[in-house]
Amino acid sequence: MGAAVVIVVTVGLSVALASGKAEGVARERIRDELLRVPALFAGWRDSQMSARRGQVRAVAEQPGTKALLAEGGGGPETAHDTSLEFARALGAGAVFLFDTQGRLIVRTDRPREEGGRDFSGVSWVSVPISRLTEASAFIAEVSRGPALSLVASAPVLQGAGTERVLNGVVSAAFRMDDERAHEVGRLAGGEAAFLVNAAARGAVPRLEVVGTTEGFRDPALGREVSAQSGTTEAQLARGDLPSPFALRARGRDYLATLVPILSGSGEPVGGMVVGRAKDEELAAMREIRRSLLGVGALILLLSVPLSFAFARALARPIQQLAIGAEEIGRGNLDVPLPRAGRGEAGALARAFEVMRRELREKAQLEQLVADLRGRGVDPTLRGVPPTGTDGLPSSGPVLGHLFAQRYEIRGLVGRGGMGAVYRALDRELDEEVALKVLEKSAGEGAPGEQQLRREIKLARTITHANVVRAYDFGEAEGVRFFTMEYVAGATLRELLDEEGRLALTPALQIAKQVCRGLGAVHRAGIVHGDLKPANIVVMTGGIAKLTDFGVARARRQAGTPFAGTPPYMSPEQVRGAEMDERSDLYSAGVLMFEMFTGRRPFDAGDPFEVMRLHLEEVPPNPRTLQPTLPELLADTIVACLAKAKADRPATAADLDRLLMRVRT
């Protein structure tokens, strides 16, 4: 069922994204085309004016027209009848006759009005009189019903050259009606309407439709254009109009642009609005959307039974893994697990198998430590050197003594050249800790104190399950000390001394945990510098921990000569050259060689001879000493023991991944 839901969601998102993208593309295409409308309209207007002037000029050049105006119109009735004939011949809405002073003789749309009215201040009359040439302009009529017309005028001349005489002016007005709107609409590829400005001069424009295509035949179109475009009279006059703007007409959504129409004197008498319907632009997308929905529905019908079958096939190994997880949690590591295949279930099965293998290795490691304790070896008394009569070192805290008014001394864990480690009870925290102090002779000089400070400072930067945690640092009773996590278990040195060599499975588990601890140390920018069996503690719970950072250095200090233990020192450490994380991996290689074969790759009675061998001799292949070792494990150990750092694994994590591939 989940697959079906995914399909539905996918198809739905696809349709939604495609629709959104298509609408954006459509809007952009409409916008680009609308931006070309003013230029298209200007070309149409100029061609109309030129054609109309030519028509009127032809009338003005007729002998009858010249004779009529030479006689001052020949009387009102004669002038009116002749003008009507001119109007019918021109297809004009009205014809005007003017005398040589620009006074109206007659106009066909108002035969008994405005006779003698002076039009000499109107451009389309004054230009023919003053320049003896044709003129044209747009005029608006609002007193007897709104109308917008293109008027063309021509002078009526008699004679030629210097004897040419002006008899008057003839003008014809051509309505911007539905037919003209269709012409513009076809040219612009959309709906078009002519609007007249019916508002008084200086008022907010009130646009009314006077000619339109069918899509814009809406009584409210003029008001809608005025409201949506936000046009002012000044904007109409300047041609500074918002474009495009949203427009709704007859229930459809458009993107539209408004082109101003000015009179001969530059006053805004109207406008031309052109719009493109968004749904027409999206028609192809709607077809694609319907197809997608149809295909999605078909896929959904097929996917429901298939998804159930697929779910059952997928759930079977998941259910087996769930049962296996419960059994592993109860300690049954032999529970059968499904075979690892492809996909998520296969990856999960492989992860479970790795986890089970790790738990088996850890269980064997726990058993190894338990066997050591069962043979009477006390892992908390790690080869303590000769002591005073009370069994403790000749100096330092005393058994049962409350040290630093906080730590109750319960026993000696071990002692080295720099000091001793005690098992103590921290009374403030009510838990056991390991208390490390410097011998007074070592603490009297700066090196011993500096080493102790360095060890606690570096150790406190690391928090990891495979690294002993450091707690506190201080001075009491004349000695320097610090406290750290108390680890109940045996050192790897003790295990090797007791067993000779370790079995493959527990040794491999120790090696992997050492790599993980080293990874944490290296991520803190630290090179351990003294990785050896004595500095690895194996707890009774099968956890291996790194300890003793006494010779560790921050990574940025690499290149400073290191102290260390000769059998486990890398070639660069022997030379006092620059060290990095791969130097610790060399020491890990020595440590693994010893765990799996029972001896070190280089050994001699003289420490300096051992260091020479690290520098010059090729290490033996561990399979020559232990033929049953897996080849991958032997090759990994040899790679760690490479003389050049570049030939070793790059990081502790890389080494851990190699060891994870070893099958026991």
* Residue appearing with tokens 């339109």: 212
How far, in whole angstroms, is CA 54 from its chain's centroid?
A: 65
Q: Encode burial over 481-511: b for 16+ CB neighbours within 10 A, e otherwise.
A: bbbbbbbebbbbbbbbeebebbebbbbbbbb
Buried b (16+ CB within 10 A) or exposed e, 99-113: bbebbbbbbbbebee
What whole-number distance in Å separates Cα of residue 150 and Cα of residue 48? 8
Question: Residue 70: what are its φ and ψ, rounded to 5°?
Answer: -65, -30
Catalytic residue, candidates 472, 530, 584, 656? 530
Which residue's entry shows tokens 């250095």? 553
The CA distance from 333 to 354, in Å, is 12
**636 vs 619: CA distance, rounded Å:** 13
Buried b (16+ CB within 10 A) or exposed e, 37-63: bbebbeebbeebbeebbebbbebbeee
Do residues 100 and 167 make contact, with C-beta atoms less than 8 angstroms apart?
yes
- Torsion of Cα atoms, 593 then 595 then 596 then 600, to 10°: 40
What is the C-alpha separation between 275 and 362, in angstroms, rounded?
79
Contacts of 446 (CB under 8 A, 6+ apart): none
Instruction: Quickly list DSSP for 470-508.
Output: EEEEEEETTEEEEEEE---EEEHHHHHHHHSS--HHHHH
What burial class does residue 618 get, using C-beta atoms within 10 Å of its C-beta: 0-12 exposed, 13-18 middle, 19+ buried?
Answer: exposed
Residue in the block written with tokens 């009491």: 476
| Terminal Cα-to-Cα distance of the chain (whole angstroms) | 42
How many whole angstroms separate alpha carbon 35 and alpha carbon 190? 13
**117 in helix, strand or coil?**
coil
Nearest alpha-carbon partner for 151 in 163, 167, 134, 165: 134
Q: How many angstroms separate the CA atoms of 506 and 656, rounded? A: 15
Number of alpha carbons in the 13 Å side-chain half-sphere of residue 127: 16
Clarify whether 371 is annotated catalytic. no
Give every CB contact of residue 632 below 8 A, 6+ residues apart in sequence: 658, 661, 662
What amino acid positions are annotated as catalytic residues?
Answer: 530
